[in-house]
Each structure stands twice: as structure tokens, then as C-alpha cells.
Structure 1
Amino acid sequence: MIFRRGNAQELGRQAESLACEHLQGQGMRLLARNWRCRRGELDLVMLDGDTVVFVEVRCRRHEAWGGALESVDARKRQRLTAAAEHFLQQEARWSRHPCRFDVIAVQHSAGDSPAQLNWISNAFDT
């Protein structure tokens, strides 16, 4: 995917669409997109077999301010975990399924080059 010019929110939406398409191409099913609660937001909630996958999509235009993967710090992980717990409470049918957290880092490329996608499965299990 070649990103159109736009503000940060538009680039974020494009990155989420790219990530969602990629994961669906890998056989995953979309359960929710931009799921919000008072504890935070979940970019994508996918189903991989019987595993509920909470996917954080990060996009950066430039590496100068740190890469997309590095931007998922301990505080962000806590917010994602809290939002995921709330999701499972609200969507009880998924609460007995195994869960994991994935991160997809999208590096916006200049010009006509396609964006680069780096998918880290089970990213919080380190």
C-alpha cells in the first residue's frame, strides 16, 4: 500500500487498514476495530483460530523520533492490557478463549514506495 498524504490521524487509519488486510490475508477474522472504553482503545481485535488477538498498530513517518515498535512502552502496554480486560468483560463470549497481544509497526515510506509492515506476534511475552 502506498500511503496518501494526510495528517497523523489519516495515516493512522491507513496503517490500520493495511494491518487489518494483512492479518485477514493470514486467515485471521476481524472481531472489532477501534474498540473504545474509558481505559483506552484497541486498534484491532482479531480471532486467530480460537485465540483472541489484540493488535496495536503503530505508524511512523520518520525514524528520527524513534521507531514504531519502540513507541509501545510499559505505560502503553498497561493501557492496552486494561482495555483488553474490559473488552473481555463486555464481550463475554470471548472471555474463555486464549489471548495474546500483537504489534504491527508500519513504516511510512516517502514517494511511491509501499509502506513496510513489521508484525510482532505475542509481542508482550518477552
Structure 2
Amino acid sequence: MSEVSSEEPYTRKQKGADGEKAAQQYLTAQGYRIIECNWRCRSGELDIIAEYGEVLVFIEVRSRSGSPLQGTPEESVDERKIRQVRATAQVYMHMKNAYEHRVSFDVITVMLNEGRSIASLHHIREAF
């Protein structure tokens, strides 16, 4: 990961992109085949869509930096987000005619250091 000077603000969009890049690298190393990233439709966005064996995996990536007092990445996956991801996955499966797959909804949380390096990455399989 590239370092950023302390004078540049570390935007929410950059944090998200860094977290998603780390998640993609992790998943590939674990044997997942990445199909799509940042797939969008009217109901929302799917961060990562991958295959793991015969399973179609929809992965929500949540990134945070700074103090855990602001809340953990896991805590940011609330009921509203779960409903949105499930609804968007339904649209994806319909559009791709992918109903023959078993499906899993995973969450990958990434804690970032101030210099944009990865402090920790946690994969929660079948999170919801």
C-alpha cells in the first residue's frame, strides 16, 4: 500500500478503496475467485462478488481507521445494511441467472493505520 503524507486528508473513499483492495488480495490468496467488484444497481452496491468452490459469495467490506471508540467495522453492518446487501444480491442473481449457486453473505473488516497500512483484517464467513 502506498503511504500518504500527513498533510493530505485521508478520505472516507480512500479508506474504503484501501480496505477493498486488501480484502481482494486476502480472498485471492485464500482461493476465492473474484467475479466482480463494486457492482451497482438501483438497490445498492455489492463490494465484492466471488466464487469459493460451488458457493457464490457476496462480501461486504467495512474499513475503519483511528480509535475503536468510534465503533468497530463489524458494528457498522446493521439491519438496514444487511437488507440492502440481500436485496442487491437478489437483483444480481436475477440479472446473471445465478440461482443454481449456493449463496453466502460474508463480511470482511479492515482496520487501517494512519499511514494507510493494514492493522488487521477479519473475515466473517456466513455473517448474515
Question: TM-score, structure 2 length as denominator?
Answer: 0.89
Once residues 65 and 99 of structure 1 are traced to their aligned partners in structure 2, the CA distance between those partners, rounded to angstroms, is: 32
RMSD (Å) for aligned C-alpha atoms: 1.7
- The number of aligned residues is 123
| Aligned residue in 1 for 2:37 | 33
Residue 10 to residue 113, structure 1, CA distance change in 2 (3 Å): closer
Fraction of identical pairs, as percent: 37
Give the drift of 1:111. 4.4
Residue 3 to residue 102, structure 1, CA distance change in 2 (3 Å): farther
Opposite residue 11 of structure 1, the aligned amino acid is: K
| Aligned residue in 2 for 1:66 | 71
Once residues 73 and 63 of structure 2 are traced to their aligned partners in structure 1, the CA distance between those partners, rounded to angstroms, is: 6
CA contact (8 A) 1:109 1:116 kept: no
| Aligned residue in 2 for 1:91 | 96
Report the secondary structure of 2:118's partner residue: coil
The superposition leaves residues 71-119 of structure 1 with CA deviations (integer Å, 9 ceiling, x where unpaired) of: 0001100000000000000111x22100010000001123486331011
Report the secondary structure of 2:28's partner residue: helix
The runs of 5 or more residues in structure 2 that have no matched partner are none
The 10-residue stretch of structure 1 (62-71 or 77-86) with the greater mean CA deviation from structure 2: 62-71
CA contact (8 A) 1:53 1:102 kept: yes
Residue 112 to residue 101, structure 1, CA distance change in 2 (3 Å): closer
**Equivalent of 2:87 in 82, 88, 104:** 82
Once residues 42 and 22 of structure 1 are traced to their aligned partners in structure 2, the CA distance between those partners, rounded to angstroms, is: 17
The 10-residue stretch of structure 1 (3-12 or 55-64) with the greater mean CA deviation from structure 2: 3-12
| Aligned residue in 2 for 1:122 | 126
CA contact (8 A) 2:111 2:118 kept: no
CA contact (8 A) 2:18 2:116 kept: no
Once residues 12 and 116 of structure 2 are traced to their aligned partners in structure 1, the CA distance between those partners, rounded to angstroms, is: 18
Question: TM-score, structure 1 length as denominator?
Answer: 0.90
The runs of 5 or more residues in structure 1 that have no matched partner are none
CA contact (8 A) 2:63 2:73 kept: yes
